[in-house]
Chain A
């Protein structure tokens, strides 16, 4: 029975004071990523269990809609940085109680920052901690932390919650399934042509309006209309243009000119009603009269008349133009204004009302009913997830229990091998699941073996320290010295390198291909393109390619000469120690050093993506709950505002993409973040 019970109890039944707690718990350093609903609960419960060394990371500020569950925050804190207020409150709670035992003083830190910033939150940062807990609300950040924990070889406890549903999933790097081992459903996507030309549901108009917002007020540098959703937008406000003139110009362009253009394409309207432009001449004076009276609130559930939407559009545009004109000089972190643009935020009334109004006016032109209310638009455009305090607390309690098991067991000599068997993934259900005889509200599942072709954890992970100046070494040098010389890969006939993350914000993670070398005789055109890419980048310095400390590169080397042909994939994290140690003139391969990690192993070439996630390869599955029903909670949370009902989450998992392959997103658009 030794393995049935993990000895997590304090040595005595009295106070959970320091002396009664396991020393490993007192010493363990835990990183909590996200100080929101689940994050603040996790932090509180960790301290309640005796953990003393805690770091919180969050980039958000406190919003009023957080107060229904994020119990560390008060009304007076609205607008403050989450991580700092949270750390402060936790210290106030615990510091007096732990002061007496100076052996392990309380260390609760709040770091305001974005975990996507891999220069600041690099592998070395993650290696300071014994365990990492994810309390995030989006898939991109979850993937990032998952990847960093793998690279840093640190265990991760992943969490998610929506409504009454929740999920906790511990990941032991390379020993158990990681976040990316199971494909997640992609964000809801709509065909471009539906959004651009033939919307027939309210949600299509909201997606369009969300893109419109980006094009009109978003950051100038971003390629807002990459998918060509909006017909030639030259609609950003011009310097010195009066806001009211601008509103009228905009309305005319969007709801008269563009709609007429669409209407003229008769092919589109066979069998359906052609859109009709707004009669602006008649409506605008009415809207103007309504300006002082319309409710300017983002949480309204009832439908408004068309004229009111027009007035709301007017008012929101005025506000946004005023804010936009202020952004060129100052960056305001609380409203997301800056860099010559305004970031869309579902809790920003102006932004949300502009989107809601734009969507409603469009829905009217295209005869779409029912018109969405501001409340509904907020749900769709903001990817709003239902959240209640109680579920967050359940999820956090379960996550901390897993952390506790991990820390205690790992510290016991000889027990470390038990860890993967002792930990559990847990699903929190709204309705008990299972047979009539065992109905479970919390459904545990043993940890699965890593998926053999997981894009994140089946590949090599190596952190390489550079002793050379990034401005003086070219990508070609790096391939020769580091990849070939140090790591022994790259001599293969096919080699491709893509950027997972770097200083260069314009590289979208997983997409930007830096380098491709292909010996295979292909059709001429493609080869030319690749050679071109190689020629262009090989001579550039790493600095010029915006690669520096924290950059993560994905390398694929294919050897077709081998029988069978093999490939090797790995992720290389570049680290620059302080500049003082960097030598001035690079001349030898000794200028790169493996900090930690391994390059992975060669394996037979995968001819195509056979990564469907079928149960058989995953080893033992706990019966009772199939993976499909349950796997989706964390995924559902990311991208859906719809009721994440267990029954509806059973859609078959989509085919998985491999990192390094372009997203091939032609033809589909998603709601931009």
Chain B
């Protein structure tokens, strides 16, 4: 079973495990290298995540391998095929002895062996019944759905359900040496655009309007400055200097504050003053709302939108929540620990105050939506590191941008969109004729139909690429499956951990040139 997460009293997200300390330690060690990338919160999100993967050929297997190794909570693998001889040697998760068995079941068994902490489940059946077996309604329960090398009709069906239920979707396809990954998110909140271990955002210290407790702390410890001896004077943290220089000004101007700091400074070899002067400019000139607040207020997610509105109320009442961490600075331990504690307490009070605001108009504000503590804490922690992204809905032509695309996407050096339409044209024929295609004119005719359908009739597709598509015959090549499956896994992990901004459309992989070009699919 996946580990569950909760916010502990000090606010840190910890993995609450029903197992003993040794097991938790084992998990920490296992995931050490990635915890440093997306942090405990990201890992926690991942361990709670449920993913559905439709398609267990090489490309699906490569995607599954990467997310299972990273410790996703649950995976459902749905696949309509039995293991064929050609799967062996191409799909790493199956071997000779498995020929004839349901492929999804074999793949699940291998995944279990790879990471016992992940729960995996296989869904098998004839192609026509696959979605039914998965249960279209249950799609809403997944954190992300991936569809790997499936017929176009099935992809569209799954995509429509995902869109309706706000479930992120990853579509993967490969044809010989080319392939693509499409990400569709109706709305995705990125909690941490910079990654774990990045610097504390300066704005989150709220130094333009310092809060009462930090002002009090600085007055108690460092004021009046002129009474400190030289040593102590040189060691007043820059943060405290700035607070003291700003605190009694209702609308502090940069000039006043700079002048004040210059006046207090005793000589040039006081690095903390240099730092305070530098920070003063950055803090006071950049004083504004977190860029995200506006976006969050227009969020589709009811809980997030409710929190955003509560933040506005809080801002008017007592200011936006402060960071509970402070940046590294030159000062003695006592000063650092003291300031750290002041911020930590204030941050905890801010979260509590925000919770109160939310509770006060629970009915109207959230529309009954429940805002849980980890979400509240995460938003307060990441207010300055959040982003919200949206793509348009999935359509075969999404990546090609239906008419909006420039000819360059087809005819330029990359010509990424031309590969995309060629793959769609080939797939369209394949759905009618199972046998490998031999006749270029059939493909060209299909291509013209697809271009027309996509409203792209005027673009020119290089004949060499048409030939090559024909020759590749949609074969699934192992190195391409490895790259495309892993790119799919990277994007899935960015979405699931809510750390880093994922791609905003389709990435087309061209194995001839070893190039992957992103074609965006903007929301309508």
Contacts and interface: CB of A to CB of B under 8 A. Distances in A.
Interface of A: 1, 4-6, 8-10, 13-17, 41, 44-45, 47-50, 64-65, 67-69, 71, 74-75, 92-94, 96-98, 163-164, 168, 200-202, 271-273, 297, 299, 301-302, 347, 363-364, 367-371, 378-379, 384-394, 396-398, 400-402, 404, 424, 426, 430-432, 437-444, 641-643
B509 A442 contact: yes
Interface of B: 12, 25-26, 28-34, 36-37, 40, 58, 62, 65-67, 69-71, 84-86, 88-90, 92, 95-97, 113-116, 176-177, 195, 197-198, 230-231, 234-235, 269-270, 328-333, 335-337, 340, 406, 408-409, 412-414, 436, 462, 464, 468, 471-475, 477-483, 485-487, 489-490, 493-494, 500-501, 503, 507, 509, 511-518, 520
A426 to B, nearest CB: 5
Nearest 10 CB-CB pairings of A with B: A369-B336, A48-B478, A15-B86, A393-B486, A397-B482, A442-B516, A397-B483, A96-B96, A13-B473, A390-B489
A368 B237 CA distance: 12
B489 A17 contact: no
A254 B423 CA distance: 68
A378 B474 CA distance: 47
A421 B500 CA distance: 35
Contacts of B67: 390
A45 B483 CA distance: 10
Nearest to B340: A370
B333 A17 contact: no
20 contacts: A5-B512, A48-B482, A49-B479, A50-B89, A92-B95, A96-B88, A271-B230, A299-B28, A369-B336, A386-B34, A386-B36, A388-B33, A389-B489, A390-B487, A397-B480, A397-B483, A438-B414, A439-B517, A441-B516, A643-B198
B478 A49 contact: yes
Nearest to B507: A441
B20 to A, nearest CB: 13
B512 A4 contact: yes
Given A48-B89, A164-B37, A390-B486, 18 more contacts: A5-B464, A9-B177, A13-B436, A47-B89, A48-B58, A64-B29, A65-B33, A68-B71, A71-B69, A71-B114, A75-B116, A271-B231, A367-B331, A367-B333, A384-B33, A388-B34, A426-B515, A437-B409
B518 A16 contact: no
Given A9-B472, A92-B95, A389 B66 contact: yes
B37 A388 contact: yes
Contacts of B464: 1, 4-5
A190 to B, nearest CB: 16
A1 B468 CA distance: 11
Contacts of B500: 164, 430-431
Interface centre among A68, A163, A400 (most CB of B within 10 A): A68
A397 B479 CA distance: 5
B408 A437 contact: yes
Nearest to B92: A44
A564 to B, nearest CB: 43
A97 B89 contact: yes
Contacts of B514: 168, 398, 401-402, 424, 426, 442, 444
B490 A390 contact: yes
A385 B413 CA distance: 35
Contacts of A393: 62, 65-66, 482-483, 485-486, 489
Contacts of A364: 333
A1 B464 CA distance: 7
Contacts of A388: 33-34, 37, 66, 70, 490, 493
Given A68-B30, A432-B518, A163 B195 contact: yes
A627 B428 CA distance: 41
A16 B91 CA distance: 11
B516 A386 contact: no
B426 to A, nearest CB: 12
Contact of A41 (B84, B340, B482, B509): B482
Given A1-B464, A440-B518, A442-B509, A16 B31 contact: no
Given A93-B95, A94-B89, A69 B473 contact: no
